[in-house]
């Protein structure tokens, strides 16, 4: 049975060795049964540039290249935490870097893939910040700094965004229904798969009289993971754990 897997929001970091281990095991075993694996953003909790190869990045790259040898195609999308993940990393990982959004044909269903933060349009301050932080000048300036300095800047920014988000309501940080419908109508998709909100669920949508669906992927937490498996026959979720 042909099968495509989707995961997102692993938030891997050197401080979470068990989760890295779980991901490595996933790449080495379960993922190899699939014909494709899509990682829809926030694979890493922070990304300071493709030239940073501190642990556990080299081990992850090796496992990703091995996945390709098994016949499973790897596709990676940037998230808001790892939006600096670039072509250099993708090449080292033998992966394709996807733009956000990307439309694919999923066993006959036009499917839109997104990280999900673009859908959170109720949070105007975030959308503004998102645009500012992706300015090519700012990025070039950041990437020109020595790695230890980038680590400090990234930590500071993460702390700031954590403080700001803690003060926001849950509603404002979820997707905006109108934005969901606009993205789906513009692309002609009737299935949308995204992560980011950490609210795994399936939502039925009425797109101008046509039935559509939005699937939200689960984040990985407490050293447990979750994947979405899609084949022509069925869609299912699967838990992953080290034990
Ligand atoms: Mn995210």
Amino acid 163: pLDDT: 86
Tell me the per-residue pLDDT of 41-87, one tens digit each, with 9 for 90 and over. 999 999 999 999 999 999 999 999 999 999 999 999 999 999 999 99
Torsions phi, psi of 107, nearest 5?
50, 45
For ligand 1, the distance from its centroid to the CA atom of residue 196, given in whole angstroms, is 4
Q: How much is the average pLDDT of 14-31?
A: 97
> Sign of the C-alpha dihedral, residues 179, 182, 186, 190?
positive
What are the respective helix, strand and coil percentages of the chain, to the nearest 5?
Answer: 35, 25, 35
Amino acid 223: pLDDT: 84
For ligand 1, the distance from its centroid to the CA atom of residue 230, given in whole angstroms, is 22
The answer on pLDDT for 166 being more than 90 is no
| Cα distance between residue 53 and residue 239, in whole Å | 29
For ligand 1, the distance from its centroid to the CA atom of residue 209, given in whole angstroms, is 31
Tell me the per-residue pLDDT of 119-146, one tens digit each, with 9 for 90 and over. 999 999 999 999 999 999 999 999 999 9
For ligand 1, the distance from its centroid to the CA atom of residue 1, given in whole angstroms, is 31
Q: How much is the average pLDDT of 96-115?
A: 98
For ligand 1, the distance from its centroid to the CA atom of residue 42, given in whole angstroms, is 6
For ligand 1, the distance from its centroid to the CA atom of residue 158, given in whole angstroms, is 12
For ligand 1, the distance from its centroid to the CA atom of residue 81, given in whole angstroms, is 6
Q: How much is the average pLDDT of 155-179?
A: 90
Tell me the per-residue pLDDT of 175-231, one tens digit each, with 9 for 90 and over. 999 999 999 999 999 999 999 999 999 999 999 999 999 999 999 998 899 999 999
For ligand 1, the distance from its centroid to the CA atom of residue 10, given in whole angstroms, is 10
- CATH among 3.60.21.10, 3.20.20.80, 3.40.140.10, 1.20.1250.20 for 3-241: 3.60.21.10
For ligand 1, the distance from its centroid to the CA atom of residue 115, given in whole angstroms, is 7
For ligand 1, the distance from its centroid to the CA atom of residue 140, given in whole angstroms, is 22
Query: E-assigned strands of the chain?
Result: 4-7, 36-40, 73-77, 96-98, 102-106, 109-114, 191-194, 201-207, 210-216, 224-230, 235-241
The answer on pLDDT for 105 being more than 90 is yes
List the domain boundaries for the chain: 3-241
| Cα distance between residue 115 and residue 110, in whole Å | 17
Q: Does pTM surpass 0.95?
A: yes
Q: Is 135 left (phi over 0), alpha (psi -120 to 50) or beta?
A: beta
The answer on pLDDT for 109 being more than 90 is yes
For ligand 1, the distance from its centroid to the CA atom of residue 207, given in whole angstroms, is 25
The answer on pLDDT for 4 being more than 90 is yes
| Cα distance between residue 25 and residue 107, in whole Å | 27
For ligand 1, the distance from its centroid to the CA atom of residue 160, given in whole angstroms, is 15
* Residue from 82, 96, 11, 14 nearest 50 by CA: 82
């Amino acid at each position: 049975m042909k099968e495509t897997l989707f995961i997102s929001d692993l938030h891997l970091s050197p401080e979470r060795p068990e989760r890295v281990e779980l991901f490595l095991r996933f790449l080495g075993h379960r993922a190899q049964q699939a014909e494709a694996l899509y990682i829809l953003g926030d694979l890493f909790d922070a990304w300071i540039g493709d030239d940073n190869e501190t642990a556990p990045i080299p081990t992850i790259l090796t496992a990703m290249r091995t996945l390709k040898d098994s016949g499973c195609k790897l596709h990676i999308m940037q998230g808001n935490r790892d939006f600096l993940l670039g072509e250099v990393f993708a090449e080292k990982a033998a992966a394709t870097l996807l733009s956000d959004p990307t439309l694919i044909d999923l066993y006959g269903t036009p499917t839109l893939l997104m990280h999900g933060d673009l859908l959170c349009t109720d949070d105007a301050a975030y959308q503004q910040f998102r645009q500012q932080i992706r300015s090519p000048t700012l990025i070039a300036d950041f990437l020109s700094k020595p790695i230890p300095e980038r680590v400090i800047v990234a930590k500071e920014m993460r702390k700031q965004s954590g403080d700001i988000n803690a003060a926001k309501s849950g509603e404002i940080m979820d997707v905006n229904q109108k934005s969901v419908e606009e993205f789906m109508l513009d692309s002609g998709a009737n299935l949308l798969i995204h992560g980011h909100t950490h609210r795994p669920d399936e939502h039925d949508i009425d797109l101008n009289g046509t039935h559509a669906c939005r699937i939200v992927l689960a984040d990985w937490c407490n050293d447990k993971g979750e994947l979405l498996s899609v084949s022509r026959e069925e869609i299912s979720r699967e838990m992953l754990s080290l034990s």
